[in-house]
Structure 1
Amino acid sequence: MTVIRINAITVPADSGDELAHRFAARAGAVDGADGFEGFELLKPTDGRDQWLVVTRWRDDAAFQAWLDSPAFAHGHRSESERGGGEAQRPVSSHSEVWSYEIAGGSPA
């Protein structure tokens, strides 16, 4: 059964473009993870300051394996850190992970 993990990231209005840039810089990093089914970065359009990172996984074990993997740690380092430099300052002020499973809907 597909599980959904949503990372709700609070981002000041002037930092949204930088958040999108950082996600673009690591695009595809999770694509090869066992059990990974999809990813979207959702930008708010209604004045909210929460961006949503929505990932879909085959099951909880697949998501946990990704969290515990070296690839996760590497993908969550900044471009600068991956190149041997200093860490960039965070663009978010808060984040929390929400967990869901599909309970209904229409076929894709």
Structure 2
Amino acid sequence: MSIVKINVLTVPAEQREVLEERFASRAGMVENSDGFEWFELLRPVEGTDRYLVYTRWRSEADFQAWMEGPMRAAHQGRGDQSGERPKPAATDSTVWTFDVVQQAAPAARAAE
């Protein structure tokens, strides 16, 4: 069954828009990766300054291949016109890993 990687990013309030814009500008980068199943960027509503970056993968090997290939290339290539890398929007990052052991989807509803 699949694995889930959740990157927990501590993002100060003044950097939220920067973080969201950076993720929006990278749209499409992960979607074509072998073994990729799902992505969500979750913005905190209350009680925390942590964003959650949720990705779901067919296997740990697929995730690692993406980290060593497209992900690494994307982070190395990020720079402004002077070649300088922008300051990170997050002040801390932790990755959580989970095995998917159960899942459910909405039941199909009968036409009325």
TM-score, normalization by structure 1: 0.88
Structure 2 letter corresponding to 1:75: A
Q: Is the 8 A contact 1:78 1:88 kept in 2?
A: no
**1:89-108 superposed Cα distances (whole Å, 9 cap, x missing partner):** 11111001000112224225
Bigger Rg, structure 1 or 2? 2
Indicate if the aligned counterparts of 1:25 and 1:79 stay in contact, CA closer than 8 A: no
- Per-residue CA deviation, residues 60-101 of structure 1 (Å, 9 max, x unaligned), is 1101111111x21222246535x6621001111100100011
2:44 is matched with 44
Matched-pair contact (CA < 8 Å) for 1:22–1:78? no
Instruction: Extract unaligned runs of 5+ from structure 1.
Output: none
Q: Match for 2:75: what amino acid?
A: H
Structure 1 residues 78 and 68, CA gap change in structure 2 (3 angstroms)? closer
User: Which residue number corresponds to residue 72 of structure 2?
Assistant: 73
Task: Give the counterpart letter for 1:98 in structure 2.
Answer: W
Indicate conservation of the 8 Å contact 1:36/1:57, yes or no. yes
Give secondary structure in 2 for the equivalent of 1:65: helix
Q: TM-score, normalised to structure 2's length? A: 0.85
**Cα RMSD (Å):** 1.7
1:82-101 to 2 correspondences below 5 Å: 85-101=83-99
* Secondary structure of residue in 2 paired with 1:80: coil
